[in-house]
């Protein structure tokens, strides 16, 4: 199974961005840990991060020909981006949406996801461990 781990705006700042909310784990740490899990599962992991909406949409389009599934933490775009939602619908690859924090315990504008209705599942509030759980769930479903 080939999986794209796709992160959106500001997630490149994990580890230093509001550590009380997001913790001390960096995006490089997340990618390394998920790489280890992918190897354990016999999967191939590709990682990408974009601070702009167009970069995320383009990455999803490219995934159509190169990946079997996605893990998507679109950051704030998960709450607002119809373009990203449409890209995910168009490529029709299974994906799991991940949020490091519990978005349902935060500000009201974060409690709606444009992506969740299309997702195989949504993992919120488990910190950066949510990425690993998403990868394991996709691998299990792909068998």
Is 24 within a domain?
A: yes
pLDDT at res. 106: 77
109 lies in some domain = no
Of residues 22, 61, 112, 131, which has the active-site annotation? 22
pLDDT tens-digit readout, 8-58: 999 999 999 988 888 899 999 999 999 999 999 999 999 999 999 999 999
Domain that holds residue 136: 2-104+116-142
**Interatomic CA distance for residues 39 and 32, integer angstroms:** 11
Task: Return d(Cα 103, Cα 99) in angstroms, integer.
Answer: 7
Rounded CA-CA distance 12/48 in Å is 10
Does 112 have pLDDT greater than 80?
A: no
Indicate whether 133 belongs to any domain.
Answer: yes
Instruction: Establish if 69 belongs to a structural domain.
Output: yes
What CATH number corresponds to the domain at position 43? Answer: 3.40.50.9100
Reply yes or no on whether 22 is catalytic.
Answer: yes
Any domain includes 122: yes
Contact 43, 68 (CB under 8 A): no
131 a catalytic residue? no
Mean pLDDT of 95-113: 86
Q: Provide the β-strand partners of residue 122.
A: 97
Query: What total of structural domains would you count in the chain?
Result: 1
100 phi/psi in degrees, rounded to 5: -65, -40
83 domain residue, yes or no: yes
Q: Residue 111 falls within a domain, yes or no?
A: no
Q: Is residue 51 part of a domain?
A: yes
Which of 50, 61, 79, 99 is catalytic? The answer is: 99
């Amino acid at each position: 199974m080939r999986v794209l781990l796709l992160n959106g705006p500001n997630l490149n700042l994990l580890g230093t961005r509001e550590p009380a909310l997001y913790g001390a784990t960096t995006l490089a740490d997340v990618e390394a840990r998920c790489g280890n899990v992918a190897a354990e599962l016999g999967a191939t992991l590709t990682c990408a991060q974009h601070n702009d909406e167009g970069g995320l949409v383009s990455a999803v389009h490219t995934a159509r020909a190169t990946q079997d599934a996605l893990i998507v933490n679109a950051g704030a775009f998960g709450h607002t981006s119809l373009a990203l939602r449409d890209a995910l619908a168009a490529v029709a690859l299974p994906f799991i949406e991940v949020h490091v924090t519990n978005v349902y315990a935060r500000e009201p504008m974060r409690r709606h996801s444009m992506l969740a209705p299309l997702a195989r599942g949504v993992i919120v509030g488990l910190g950066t461990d949510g990425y690993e759980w998403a990868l394991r769930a996709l691998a299990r479903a792909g068998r």
